[in-house]
Amino acid sequence: MVDALRADRLNCYGYGPRTSPNIDALAADAIRFETCITQSSWTRPSTATLFTALYPSSHQAIFKPDMLPEPVVSLAELMTAGGYFALGFANNVNIAPIFNFGQGFDQYIFLKPHYFFKSPESGFQLAGYNQLRLIRERFFSKAKHVYHYYQDAQVVNKNVLSWLEKVQNSRFFLFVHYMETHDPYFVHPYNNVGYARVSNPNPNPSVAGLFSDTYDGELRFVDQALGELWRWLKDHGLYQDALIVLTSDHGQEFYEHGGWWHGTTLYEEQIHVPLVVKLPGQKEAGTVDQRVVRTLDIAPTILALTDISSHPSMQGQSFLGTEGKSWTGVEDVFSEEDHEGNVVLSLRTRNFKLIQANPNNPRGLPPVAVFNLTEDPWEKNNLAQEQSELVDVMQPRLEEKLALAQGGAVARQEREIDEATQERLKSLGYTE
């Protein structure tokens, strides 16, 4: 999972500037899904959906204090029950063990960032640390270092390959999480220049091109690391028979709809994510699958391809089986967001999209918007008034999907957030 990776920035999805030769090489050995839609646009609920095949309103890991509830059944639990050693590397505090995202894994390792002033974890007991950090970020030091925010792709690979050396002769299920395309965006080669939400939450629109270009540079950097991972698998005889799934939890905004970062809208730049599935033996290599699929369906697909039964609670379904394609895709995709006062729902078909937002939302989204994605893929022309009959058709379907998700809800579980975790959330701009 490459955090915050937009599908439209990969060359294999039609992007012009060269960004992704190694991901493209994987896609040449794989099935590339043209339209994969995530069910939320920030990391906690979206990754919980990826791990459980449940809608956010069902798994209830929606808000900042929420953890993955114990009663849900995770993909890792089913893989371990099926005889796999389950190993995970999380690189964002939102899916760290403190929020129970290690449920079902034999080993689940949070690659912790470093702290300012070389402070130990106990330093968070010191009065004034957070204020000093924020003052440094916003006013004094312009130099930014990646390890204050996350561990970069080279560090991720070092940890992953060290463990792979130990488990390569067993059946293993591996979750690897890269953070490069999540903000802050760092210039490569590293020169202490980076653009962080925490230090500039509402940038001037004039920097959209600069931020976008820097994001592309981050993509090139993580793509190189992915190529190194593929080469290691090949050199050790593991690539040929491996099932490899590459995807993301959500995208990023560059002022396409008047905003930045992620988590407050359900426009395409936020929820259209890449999905590349390399089957063992490179079956169906180079296929481009035009079906509309969901991140909700990824866990059931992995289970089907490894001959492990899906759990009855899972709301997704396999889009591939051991004999190839098993269903025709979904007619409409439901996504939802309840973040920082913005309550947003969407229903996306192949050609149209309905977005509903709560009145007077902080983001300033219209209460109802409809877009013709065929003619207006960038969602610039709201047809809600002139296509009111389409709204009348799509709204009941959206409400039906929401009722389905809410009807399957488990009890929310919150946890008290300690000072160290709070600081990690602040460094990524998730809290003030």
Count: domains in the chain: 1
**Whole-number mean pLDDT of the chain?**
92
380 falls within a domain: no
The whole domain housing 67 covers 7-331+421-427
d(CA 144, CA 195): 8
Using the predicted structure, report yes or no on whether residue 139 has a pLDDT greater than 80.
no
Inter-residue contact 114 to 148 (CB < 8 Å):
yes
Rg (CA), the chain: 21
Q: Decide: 70 and 417 in contact? Cβ < 8 Å.
A: no
In a domain, 171, yes or no: yes
Predicted model pTM:
0.93
Q: What are phi and psi of 417, to 5 degrees?
A: -95, 120
Q: CA–CA separation, 302 vs 300, rounded Å?
A: 6
Q: Is residue 325 part of a domain?
A: yes
Question: How much is the pLDDT for 292?
Answer: 93
Whether residue 195 is contained in a domain is answered as yes
Is residue 270 predicted with pLDDT exceeding 80?
A: yes
Q: What is the CATH number of the domain that holds 162?
A: 3.40.720.10
Cβ neighbour number for residue 170 with a 10 Å cutoff: 9
The pLDDT of 8-33, averaged and rounded, is: 98
Q: Is 338 exposed, middle or buried (0-12, 13-18, 19+ CB in 10 A)?
A: middle
**Which residue is associated with the tokens 């114990």?**
70
Whether pLDDT at 127 is above 90: no
Does 273 score more than 60 pLDDT? yes
pLDDT at 244: 98
Distance between CA atoms of residues 99 and 430, nearest Å: 15
Q: How far is CA 147 from the centre of its chain?
A: 20
Residue 75 lies in a domain: yes
66-75, 105-114, 421-430: range with lowest mean pLDDT = 421-430
Greatest distance between any 2 Cα atoms in the chain: 61
Q: Does residue 338 lie within any of the structural domains?
A: no
Q: Is residue 366 assigned to a domain?
A: no
Q: For every residue of the chain, which 3-state class applies, written as one string?
A: CECCCCHHHCHHHCCCCCCCHHHHHHHHCCEEEEEEECCCCCHHHHHHHHHHCCCHHHHCCCCCCECCCCCCCCHHHHHHHCCCEEEEEECCHHHCHHHCCCCCCCEEEECCCCCHHHCCHHHHHCCCHHHHHHHHHHHHCCCCCHHHCCCCHHHHHHHHHHHHHHHCCCCEEEEECECCCCCCEECCCCCCCEECCCCCCCCCHHHHHHHHHHHHHHHHHHHHHHHHHHHHHHHCCCCCCCCEEEECCCCCEECCCCCEECCCCCCHHHHEECEEEECHHHCCCCEEEEEEEEHHHHHHHHHHHCCCCCCCCCCCCCCEECCEECCCCCCCEEEEEEECCEEEEEEECCCEEEEEECCCCCCCCCCEEEEECCCCCCCCCCCCCCCHHHHHHHHHHHHHHHHHHHHCCCCCCECCCCHHHHHHHHHCCCCC
Give pLDDT, residue 239. Answer: 98
Where residue 428 falls among pLDDT bands split at 50, 70, 90?
A: confident
Per-residue pLDDT tens over the stretch 213-257: 999 999 999 999 999 999 999 999 999 999 999 999 999 999 999
Q: Which residues pair with 260 in a beta bridge?
A: 254
Question: Given a cut of 80, is residue 132 above it in pLDDT?
Answer: no
> Is 357 part of any domain?
no
